[in-house]
Structure 1
């Protein structure tokens, strides 16, 4: 999924797309998960509907960035004789003391409906209509006695029903998706037992539409591989290793490969694998003697626009401004970044540190804040909000710190160097040794 706060894997996919386009090769990013804000997220990441296609968008006939008509909140059918109560972020419709309908909005100007909820005489929510950010009714959820989703219905932007799914509870009380149904798709109904089966059908449809024999690159294996592996139309499948491949990252020759990697290397349905560094390829060949095609293609890509940017001379940048670009996750070992900065701060009193990246682990985030406070660094260390464009941050930085436990490569380090920012990094597996010339453009710590 392309989220508003995209991870390194999604950024790698988007950079690879640029490479294909620069070489006049047709390529698209295919995504699985349902998200009503998907097209807004595409714009945030500077993508359009011709570059990325979502499974549910496809079957909802809603692949365009815009829709024919935006539903006006004032045209909603409301309970007869209801009292309308408009509030800042939502509208309520009541019959006496009973709430019968609630309308929430995406925007503060209340022009785009987010959700319309309907309630019974006992105050229970029984139906929930969810709207796409583009302005049409996308999904209707019917709720059971316990308030859980019992079934879902999806619509096209013109209101046609195209998809239904049903949920049941196991004896242990777990809700499972027991049936998925495409309604009148190309003149027929299709039934699926789970989302993996529907994903396989989607991939085969896309493959056939593009003449078959296409190459599919698996970036998030645990999500897309069940669909890709079971395709029935002719295709090639290549797996991309975005990160380390063993259960103990810094012991690749003695620790076990992840199960999905073992599967990819052994399955006749997988045609090859892409790794990001020659070192990782050499390590893999030592522990697994697969006959599959293995190639090295780093994920870091700088296009002509990025390369043409004139960097701010170091003398014109704010003095002693340090930066790191990393999501808040244990992999990034930001505790060490903070402790290293503490040592720097003791020698360079005006030094500052900016940490750019979204919060992937809130508990860790709170621990880092406490660590910063305990070291008396609160005024000097800033957690910056996630942003797609980090050019200004790089142009104003004088040093990049990286203390990751492990990496697949290190796209942010390449970006930092492209803006003239030297790097101090652990010499971990994998990436830094391919990026840093020790003593020239950075140092190993």
Structure 2
């Protein structure tokens, strides 16, 4: 059994989790059973499974311990009635946005202000309880209609206890907190009752370690070997520092730049020691260039580092070139400091003076309010609101790709640039900064797009002007992009994973 370990899925699914889903599809093709493992609690876990097509293929740590089953929306209406037993209630606030999880919440409030119930995506999300003095005492969280956990608060608003329930609403997992500096709560103990045993843990890392050990032992009972592919560094790497079981194998998958200039990033510094101890068996990166840098930086043999792109392309119907909007420029990127969207915006402001009909659509979720404010102010100050648009997050951008003239990427660094490959897959010529790593592996410079020196906004603008001015060249680049993307077909990437699986299982045996 292969497990792909991440923190958790969000409704706005990130590139890492999308890569895990595609990897899971390849492993199924190769006859290998795999599961994606979430180590954080998730209200949207069932909804995400349905949306991304991974039904029953995601194991959430908390759901694993709880074993909660779901009830229908009709049955959930009875739960709501029971919550408000003997109380009159009304719709209090129709839209209150949960900024962390990006939910639009609907609130129902009891007339005496003792209860507030919040719905998200049409289902109970959480219920707040207030005492007769008006103090906030308790919050119950629900999953698919069942009460999943409760948080209890003290007079100063600090959390005291968090409890998770089984399917019969019996507490099975309890987190205890004490007061800390700056009116914060510090986790001091965790207790778990599971399969007839009661265990105590000092912190969440110990709980995660126990959970991963249970997965290994479950596989042993079924006569299976266990291999973990770790897709996020925090907190998984710190968990592995305490790992003792010899019957599991671990590989770390890089989805981001692992060093700044010549300094290994703090999150990845435990890796060499974990490799030396034999806990991590190898590394996986998307490009040969990164594999070579990893081997050099971590003093490894190249056979300890596997070059396997994190995603693959699928056959798509070629859009007629005439159906593309010759003025549409596309940028697919979350809004964050490292994605450096300001350079793309500045280039489009410059190009608009030469091509007044040109416009930029920016697709991606906001991960940096400060960067968004900076970009918004710049757009306003340059009277660019009419042609530079923040379009938000979407689970599918097929229409955007199929109607775009050009795609930009101005990141400070990448691990592979999945969005750039998606653009090539849909025949969109790309103009990208030639950053580490990925763009030079994806774009065929001068054939399916252009590579530009990072930070060279003038060169970026010139290349953009040249392509916008030349329909024939843009059509040639578009056709080349379609063909170029085939280098990353499902069959090609499957072959690389097949070699990895063969080597991994030969070592195991």
Given candidates 91, 95, 100, the residue that maps to 2:108 is 91
Residue 405 in structure 1 maps to residue 418 in structure 2: no
Q: Does 1:131 align with 2:137?
A: no
Correspondence for 2:164: 154
Secondary structure of 2:445's counterpart equals coil
Measured in 1, the distance between the counterparts of 2:81 and 2:72 equals 20
Cα contact 1:45–1:388 (8 A) shared by 2: no
Stretches of structure 2 that go unaligned for 5 or more consecutive residues are 1-7, 95-105, 453-509
Match of 1:113 in 2: 124
CA distance in 2, matches of 1:231, 1:353: 49
Partner SS, residue 118 of structure 2: strand
Change (3 A) 1:281 1:120: same
2:234 counterpart SS class: helix
Which residue number corresponds to residue 239 of structure 1?
252
- Per the alignment, do residues 61 and 172 of structure 1 end up closer, same or farther by CA in structure 2, a change over 3 Å counting? same
Aligned to 1:175: 185
| Separation (CA, whole Å) in 1 of partners of 2:121 and 2:443 | 45
In the TM superposition, what are the counterparts of 1:41-440 in structure 2 within 5 Å?
Answer: 41-48=48-55, 50-62=56-68, 70=76, 72-78=78-84, 82-87=87-92, 89-94=106-111, 98-107=112-121, 112-132=123-143, 134-170=144-180, 173-183=183-193, 185-211=194-220, 213-233=225-245, 234-247=247-260, 251=261, 255-267=262-274, 268=277, 269-291=279-301, 293-302=304-313, 306-307=314-315, 309-440=316-447
Deviation at 1:73, TM superposition (A): 4.1
Q: In structure 2, what is the Cα distance between the partners aligned to 1:128 and 1:30?
A: 26
* Structure 1 residue 443 corresponds to structure 2 residue 453: no
**Equivalent residue in structure 1 for 2:45, among 34, 38, 42:** 38
Query: How far apart, in 2, do the equivalents of 1:58 and 1:221 lie?
Result: 22
**Inter-partner Cα distance in structure 2 for 1:155 and 1:178:** 20
Measure how far apart 1:67 and its partner are: 9.8
Count of aligned positions = 425
CA RMSD of aligned residues (A): 2.3
How far apart, CA to CA, are the structure 2 residues paired with 1:125 and 1:259?
39
Displacement of 1:122 after TM fit? 1.1
Distance 1:58 1:379, change over 3 A: same
1:105-148 C-alpha deviation (Å, 9 max, x unpaired): 2256xxx333222222211011221212x111111111111122
CA contact (8 A) 2:138 2:152 kept: yes
- When normalised by structure 2's length, the TM-score is 0.78
DSSP-derived class of the 1:72 partner:
helix
Q: Which moved more, 1:227-236 or 1:216-225?
A: 227-236
Q: Aligned with 2:259: secondary structure? A: coil
Answer yes or no: is the 8 Å Cα contact 2:329–2:406 preserved in 1: yes
Deviation at 1:347, TM superposition (A): 2.1
TM-score, normalised via structure 1 length:
0.89
Q: 1:328 to 1:85 in 2, by over 3 A?
A: closer
The secondary structure found in structure 1 opposite 2:399 is helix
Between Structure 1 and Structure 2, which shows a larger proportion of helix residues?
A: 2
Q: For residues 288 and 357 of structure 2, what CA distance do their matches in structure 1 show? A: 40
- Aligned in 2, Cα 1:378/1:170: closer, same or farther, shift over 3 Å? closer
- Unpaired segments ≥5 residues, structure 1: none
Partners of 1:320 and 1:102 in 2: CA distance: 49
> Structure 1 residues 432 and 29, CA, compared in 2 at 3 Å: closer, same or farther?
same
Match of 2:465 in 1: none
Q: For the structure 1 residues 293 and 115, does the alpha-carbon distance in structure 2 shift closer, same or farther, using more than 3 Å as the test?
A: same
User: C-alpha offsets along residues 136-170 of structure 1, whole Å, 9 cap, x if unaligned?
Assistant: 11111111111222112212343232211111113
Shift of 1:238: 0.6
Which of 50-59 and 114-123 deviates more? 114-123
1:53 and 1:63 in contact (8 A); partners too: no
* Native 8 Å contact 2:188 2:203 kept in 1: yes
Judged with a 3 Å threshold, the aligned counterparts in structure 2 of structure 1 residues 105 and 346 are, in CA distance, closer, same or farther, namely same
Distance 1:216 1:229, change over 3 A: farther
